[in-house]
Chain A
Amino acid sequence: MSNVYHIVVCAGIVPDPLQTLEPITTPTGPALKNEMMLPAVLDPWSGHALYEATNLAAHFPGSKVWLVSAAPKAKLQQVMMNVAQKASFELIPIDVPANGFADAHSVAKILGEAIQTIAGLDRSRLLLFGGWESASRGAGVTMQLVGERLGIRDQFQGVDQLTVQNDGSLEILERIEGGRHLVSTCQGPPALLGWATGNLPEPKNNPQVGMANMRAIMPALQKAKPASLFQNVRYVSVTPPKQQRQTRVVKDRSVDEIAAELAEWIVQS
């Protein structure tokens, strides 16, 4: 079988990571205050997965990339204006309310259902990509749950590198402690890869890529199916990522000096 991949990237959107996040309680559960008003970005972890996916597809003609995202439609549309300039993909949007603390099982359910309805998707060629973690509220298990729902047994998390071998098998490097990687090989698709940072830089904005993408993205967004989260889930407590800032811009210092100052700051904090 030729190496043609059908790559589905599960990608959430999150508030711009430098924004101040504040949890609130709403009638439908916990949420982030004014989340719809905050600028949103593609979750950086998912972004790495998307860039790896499009890079892989570019090396294997005939391959295709879908981006499946569950988010408020209007917010997703804003994020797509940026992301669509960077990589070619077909968007599968799922319209869900803004929610700062979506339950991983709920998200996995709607993502899995959406993937199963993708027209033309060949499950024997499926590589399911996503972020290993999330920049704001990841439980760290969503991708695993999506994979289980789709019956994908070969799952890899914390992935930094995927290499297609000459025989079509996949060599995958997963992060382990100590800055090392666990090297695994699987025969090929279907497989699930939860990406760490990968090795690729963020692609440049390319207007032509954007225009080509948007011709399909806008109609897809207009037809986005609504879905609901929070099915029989009771939250005991939630905590947004804490940010403690102490800013001082200093340049031209050595790595050792910076490391020493950081260590001292951490000890004092």
Chain B
Amino acid sequence: MSASAPTSSTAVERQQMSVDIAGVGFGPAMGGFLTTLSRKLLNDDGTPRFESAVSPGLPLQVICYERADGLGFGVSGAVTRARGIRASFPGIDLSQIPMAVPVSREKLVYLLDPIGSSRRSLVFRAKDRLIRGFGSIVGLRDHAVELPFTPKFMRKDDGMIFSLGQFNQWVSEQVTSSGAVQLWPGMPVSEPLIEHDAVCGLRLIDQGLSVDGAPAEGFMPGMDVRASLTVVADGPVGAVGRKIDSTFGLPEGHEHREWALGMKMVVELREDSGLEPGTVLHTIGFPEPEIFGFLYVHPERLASVGIFIPSWFQNPVRTAYRYLQHFMLHPYLWRHLRGGTLRSWGAKSLQESGRYGEPFLAGDGYARIGEGSGSTNILANSGVDEAWTTGVQLAEAVIELLETKRPFTRENLEQTYVRRRRESWVDKESRAAADARNGFQHGVIAGLIGTALAGFTGGAVALGPRSKATAASSLKKSYSSRIAPAELKRLQEECAAQGIALHDRIMDRCGWPQIPFDGKLLISHQDVLLMGGSVQAPPGYANHVIFVRPELCRECESKLCVEMCSGQAITRGDDGVPAFDREKCVYCGACLWNCNSREGNVDFRAGAGGLHSTLN
């Protein structure tokens, strides 16, 4: 790993290609965009409706690049009301999509700590004691209480459970079969082309590089794809969206502050698991009070089970993988999951700032859609349908501009795309959700109360103003009541010497039991990279995680990037600077927002490879 690996901006001669519309990132937002757009690009007789401005005589040239090796390698929990998706496919039974099923039963479950190792506050412990004391009255069973109702703002009435991978794969088949647009997976985009304050296309990633970014055998500079409109849908950690943010800034008062890491497994359930397809469980309370969980049941005995580790979980030892395993082993869930087999695994970062994380939605030559555009509703915990709908709105706007022969300027895109978005249910519900999570900066109880207040009042009432972000607390502060400072220091030194993360040792020491590996569902973190996701990294690409200033890493005590890395791709390296192994990176982007450095010392670039699973 080199701290000075060259960026793709390094002056080299590059091939150039011009298209009319270039997109980056194929997820629900781009799916909605291309589904809507491709239907309007052809006349009824199959002839092109719009002529290309860059290739006269040819139809409009629309091309989209996706970083991952396949179009179905996305990760999501994916239970959605599917309002926008259904509107795009009237008359089509969405259950025909593999692993899709209508929501039939939804429960909110409070999980108590059956182990006694969870970091519960006194209030939480008192509440747990109360629940256990009145167990028979409140329906305590398997260390859990099913709440009598699921709040309306959380419910996914008439919704669908999807596998995002299968959904994206299905959508890509519909889109490409039209022949009107082109989708290219396995082609990361390194950055936007920005000239005179306008985005004028995309620069594809350099190939034929050594891991430190030096040109090697077969060096092929990434092509510049120039476009009249660049559609940015590369998610919350995508290189293009972040470069646009850093160049143009964010609207006044907006910031990317709240994040979460979602990690999930797809489990093949045993025949008598007791779970019916369409079942949705939302959980709170375990493995830590700040960690939310879910279990969604697909057809054919498959279930998605996962957790969210939020950035306001201010524990410096916040490993998602081990917490996920303890979550699955909770007696309330394990009675269903026992005897199951792992089919898939994955992780992704979620932009949880909601409306406050919204960037400029359009500028000269570009528009933002999907999660990276702040479309996720943080009150309903819903993102797929919202992302899809923003894509649809942009496509309708593009058609309007093409029909009226107006260019893709900021003004025109605001009058068409942004106007549609502001007038839609996506924006209305986003406004209601804006302050729903303010309370979490003051603790999980305050956070839950604030969410409920905002939810039940439609956003009219929130718990306090939005406060300043707080960093993860120090190890010493987090564990002073459980581990003596001298022992903590010894554990740190031992892990540093072995080059491993600290979380396992700390969790062992705090009484979390060892995971009883069974080789089928409970497997080691290293094994899940192969058995659950077939993580791969093609040769010929540079490292995409760069630690910019090594001296800052050396000073960093907690090394959250190591603790939080979903694939154990970042380890404690020599000389106090983390080491990065791109062959294990699943491109979740957790390192990006788990850097303790105030200015952010992790440069998370476009990279190739990652998960090879279409079930997530």
A interface with B by C-beta (< 8 Å): 16, 18-20, 34, 36-39, 74, 77-78, 81-82, 85, 201-202, 204-208, 210-211, 214, 218-219, 221-222, 245, 247-249
**Cβ contacts under 8 Å, B71 to chain A:** 78, 81
Distance between A16 CB and nearest chain B CB, rounded to angstroms? 5
**Cβ contacts under 8 Å, B614 to chain A:** 37-39
Contact present for A208 and B17 (CB under 8 Å): yes
Contact present for B179 and A81 (CB under 8 Å): no
Contact present for A77 and B173 (CB under 8 Å): yes
Contact present for A205 and B63 (CB under 8 Å): no
Question: What's the Cα separation between A226 and B71 when bound, in Å?
Answer: 25
A-facing mask of B50-85, CB < 8 A → 1, else 0? 000000000000010100011111000000000000
Leading 9 A-B pairs by shortest Cβ distance: A18-B534, A218-B179, A204-B207, A247-B526, A39-B614, A74-B173, A37-B98, A247-B527, A39-B70
Pick 23 A–B contacts, CB within 8 A, sort by A. Answer: A16-B534, A18-B536, A39-B612, A74-B173, A77-B173, A77-B177, A78-B71, A81-B176, A81-B183, A81-B185, A85-B184, A202-B538, A204-B540, A205-B184, A205-B186, A207-B204, A211-B63, A214-B182, A219-B179, A245-B530, A247-B527, A247-B529, A247-B530
**Cβ contacts under 8 Å, B577 to chain A:** none
Question: What's the Cα separation between A208 and B169 when bound, in Å?
Answer: 23
Question: What's the Cα separation between A201 and B208 when bound, in Å?
Answer: 12
**Cβ contacts under 8 Å, B530 to chain A:** 18, 245, 247
- Knowing that A18-B612, A20-B531, A39-B614 are A-B contacts, what are 18 other residue pairs whose CB atoms are under 8 Å apart, sorted by A's residue number? A18-B530, A18-B536, A19-B612, A38-B614, A77-B176, A78-B71, A81-B186, A201-B218, A202-B538, A204-B207, A205-B184, A207-B65, A207-B187, A208-B223, A222-B177, A245-B527, A247-B524, A247-B530
Question: What's the Cα separation between A249 and B537 when bound, in Å?
Answer: 14
Q: Please report which residues of chain B, range 144-190, place their CB below 8 angstroms from some CB of chain A when the two chains form the complex.
A: 166, 169, 172-173, 176-177, 179, 182-187
Question: What's the Cα separation between A20 and B613 when bound, in Å?
Answer: 11
Question: What's the Cα separation between A62 and B224 when bound, in Å?
Answer: 30
**Cβ contacts under 8 Å, A82 to chain B:** 69-70, 185-186
Report the nearest B residue to A36, measured CB to CB: B98
B interface residue count range (under 10 / 10 to 19 / 20 to 34 / 35 or more): 35 or more
Question: What's the Cα separation between A82 and B612 when bound, in Å?
Answer: 14
**Cβ contacts under 8 Å, A85 to chain B:** 184, 186-187
Is B318 in the interface zone, CB < 8 Å from A? no
**Cβ contacts under 8 Å, B99 to chain A:** 37
Question: What's the Cα separation between A248 and B530 when bound, in Å?
Answer: 11
B interface with A by C-beta (< 8 Å): 15, 17, 63, 65, 69-73, 98-99, 166, 169, 172-173, 176-177, 179, 182-187, 204, 207-208, 218, 220, 223, 225, 300, 343, 524, 526-527, 529-531, 534, 536, 538, 540, 581, 584, 612-615
Contact present for B208 and A204 (CB under 8 Å): yes
Contact present for A248 and B220 (CB under 8 Å): no
Select A245's contact among B343, B531, B613, beta carbons within 8 Å. Answer: B531
Contact present for B584 and A78 (CB under 8 Å): no
Question: What's the Cα separation between A164 and B21 when bound, in Å?
Answer: 44
**Cβ contacts under 8 Å, A211 to chain B:** 17, 63, 182
Report the nearest A residue to B173, measured CB to CB: A74
Report the nearest B residue to A206, measured CB to CB: B220
**Cβ contacts under 8 Å, B187 to chain A:** 85, 205, 207
Report the nearest A residue to B528, measured CB to CB: A247
Report the nearest B residue to A248, measured CB to CB: B526
Q: A37-B98, A39-B73, A85-B184 are in contact. Are A16 and B612 (CB under 8 A)?
A: yes
Question: What's the Cα separation between A238 and B62 when bound, in Å?
Answer: 45
**Cβ contacts under 8 Å, A19 to chain B:** 534, 612
Question: What's the Cα separation between A39 and B163 when bound, in Å?
Answer: 14
Distance between B342 CB and nearest chain A CB, rounded to angstroms? 9
Distance between B538 CB and nearest chain A CB, rounded to angstroms? 8
**Cβ contacts under 8 Å, A78 to chain B:** 70-72, 169, 172-173
Contact present for B220 and A204 (CB under 8 Å): yes
Chain B CB count within 10 A is highest, among A39, A82, A202, A204, for A39
Distance between A208 CB and nearest chain B CB, rounded to angstroms? 6
Distance between A149 CB and nearest chain B CB, rounded to angstroms? 31
**Cβ contacts under 8 Å, B186 to chain A:** 81-82, 85, 205
Distance between A55 CB and nearest chain B CB, rounded to angstroms? 13
Distance between B519 CB and nearest chain A CB, rounded to angstroms? 9
Question: What's the Cα separation between A218 and B181 when bound, in Å?
Answer: 10
**Cβ contacts under 8 Å, A218 to chain B:** 176-177, 179
**Cβ contacts under 8 Å, B69 to chain A:** 82
Report the nearest A residue to B204, measured CB to CB: A207
Question: What's the Cα separation between A36 and B98 when bound, in Å?
Answer: 9
Distance between A31 CB and nearest chain B CB, rounded to angstroms? 14
**Cβ contacts under 8 Å, B15 to chain A:** 208
Distance between B267 CB and nearest chain A CB, rounded to angstroms? 13
Chain B CB count within 10 A is highest, among A19, A210, A248, for A19
Chain A CB count within 10 A is highest, among B70, B172, B584, for B70
**Cβ contacts under 8 Å, A37 to chain B:** 98-99, 166, 614-615
Distance between B179 CB and nearest chain A CB, rounded to angstroms? 4
Question: What's the Cα separation between A202 and B220 when bound, in Å?
Answer: 14
**Cβ contacts under 8 Å, A20 to chain B:** 343, 531
Distance between A239 CB and nearest chain B CB, rounded to angstroms? 19
Report the nearest B residue to A219, measured CB to CB: B179
Distance between B163 CB and nearest chain A CB, rounded to angstroms? 8
Question: What's the Cα separation between A155 and B540 when bound, in Å?
Answer: 35
**Cβ contacts under 8 Å, B223 to chain A:** 207-208
Distance between A136 CB and nearest chain B CB, rounded to angstroms? 14
Report the nearest B residue to A251, measured CB to CB: B581
**Cβ contacts under 8 Å, A77 to chain B:** 173, 176-177
Question: What's the Cα separation between A252 and B536 when bound, in Å?
Answer: 19
Distance between A50 CB and nearest chain B CB, rounded to angstroms? 16
Q: A18-B534, A39-B613 are in contact. Are A207 and B184 (CB under 8 A)?
A: yes
Question: What's the Cα separation between A214 and B15 when bound, in Å?
Answer: 19
Distance between B498 CB and nearest chain A CB, rounded to angstroms? 13
Distance between B459 CB and nearest chain A CB, rounded to angstroms? 39
Distance between A228 CB and nearest chain B CB, rounded to angstroms? 22
Report the nearest A residue to B169, measured CB to CB: A78
Distance between B378 CB and nearest chain A CB, rounded to angstroms? 31
